[in-house]
Amino acid sequence: MSAAAQRRAAPLSRARRTALGLVLPLAALIAWELSARIGEVPSYLVAPSAIFATTWEMLASGELWQHTRVSLLRALGGYAIGGACGIAMGLLAGIARPVERFYDPVVSLTYPVPKIVVLPILIAWLGAGDASKIAVITAAVFYPTFINSLYGAKGVNRLYVWSARNMGAGPLRVFAKVILPAALPQVLAGLRIGLALAFIVMVACEMQNSRSGLGHLIITAEDSLRFDLMYAAIVAIAIIGFAGDRLLLWLRRRALAGQAIGKEGAHG
């Protein structure tokens, strides 16, 4: 934002900003609804009102919740395992050079590889059940949490560590009272990237090969041309992804109360 532009336009008020923000989504929704009513669109574009009705119906019957529960269990199971391993090993690598030296080449070689490639092999080995999906999600979540924890622990100001030592704190105390709090913002940033990945991989796994879950629901609904059902599942996935992210942001605000918080909102 250049200074000249700043002088030209006064800041938009909050209300006007919100109103403007609603313009595009509302226009799209209305155009979609109207064209679906008039019948000018292909059948896969079901009217939003019909999608809403189906979503409501499936919520009431509990069917949507059943699939959501299965999906959530997989995503959160992999997220918990992958996140715990990533944080533990990342922090350890951040404070112990030999550990970092060991992980560095392996992680930097495998980091850019999409972990989803091993899914068919894992399915052949572990079966099409939950285990193969949780394993892939675990692998996908491990990398961002590991890397962010590593850099968080490495980036701790040495002066703080030295002064704590100087004042007689033992290694455990230094870790718990100095390194952990200082690394926390970056650890949480890694957890946030990991959560988004966990949901992407969850949907991908369930679409590829599954007998339950929201991804499976999308594919079967599509196959049987029940487009309203398909959109209900998509809506559920969108809500889960969004709610999970907001929950994590809320936790972060609580955990970092008193610490300076960096960019928030849309920034990954």
Partner 1 sequence: MASAVLRAVARWYPVPLVLAVWEVLSRTGAVSKRLMPSLVEIAAAVGAAMDNGDLLFHAGISLGRAAAGYALAIVAGVLLGVAMARSRLFDALFEPLFSFGYPVPKIALYPVFIFAFGLGSLSKVMLIFLECLYPITVNAFYGMRGVDRVHVWAAENMGATPRQVFWRVLLPGAAPSIFAGLRVALPISLIVVIITEMIGESRGLGYYISYASASFEYATAFAGVAAVAVIGFTLDRLLVWLRNRVIFWERGAAFIGAA
Residue 243 Cβ, how far from partner 1 at the closest point, in Å?
Answer: 9
- Rounded to 5°, the CA angle 35-36-40 comes to 60
Residue 217 Cβ, how far from partner 1 at the closest point, in Å?
Answer: 10
Question: Under the criterion CB under 8 A, does residue 199 sit at the interface with partner 1?
Answer: yes
Show the site string, 209-248: x = touches partner 1 by CB under 8 A, - = not: -----xx--xx--x-------x--xx--xx--xx-xxx--
Site size toward partner 1 (CB under 8 A) is 78
Residue 129 Cβ, how far from partner 1 at the closest point, in Å?
Answer: 16
Question: Under the criterion CB under 8 A, does residue 204 sit at the interface with partner 1?
Answer: yes
Q: Of 164 and 180, which CB lies nearer to partner 1 in the complex structure? A: 180
**Residue ranges in 4-43 that form contacts with partner 1 under rule CB under 8 A:** 4-5, 9, 11-12, 16-17, 20-25, 42
Would you say 202 and 215 are in contact if contact means Cβ atoms under 8 Å apart? yes
Q: What is the DSSP string of 188-231?
A: HHHHHHHHHHHHHHHHHHHHHS-SSSHHHHHHHHHHTT-HHHHH
Question: Under the criterion CB under 8 A, does residue 112 sit at the interface with partner 1?
Answer: yes
In a 3-state reduction of DSSP, which class is residue 119? helix
C-alpha closest to that of 261 among 194, 196, 186: 186
Residue 126 Cβ, how far from partner 1 at the closest point, in Å?
Answer: 8
**Residue ranges in 154-193 that form contacts with partner 1 under rule CB under 8 A:** 186, 189, 193
Task: Kindly tell me the burial class for residue 166, based on how many C-beta atoms sit within 10 Å of its own C-beta (0-12, 13-18, 19 or more).
Answer: exposed
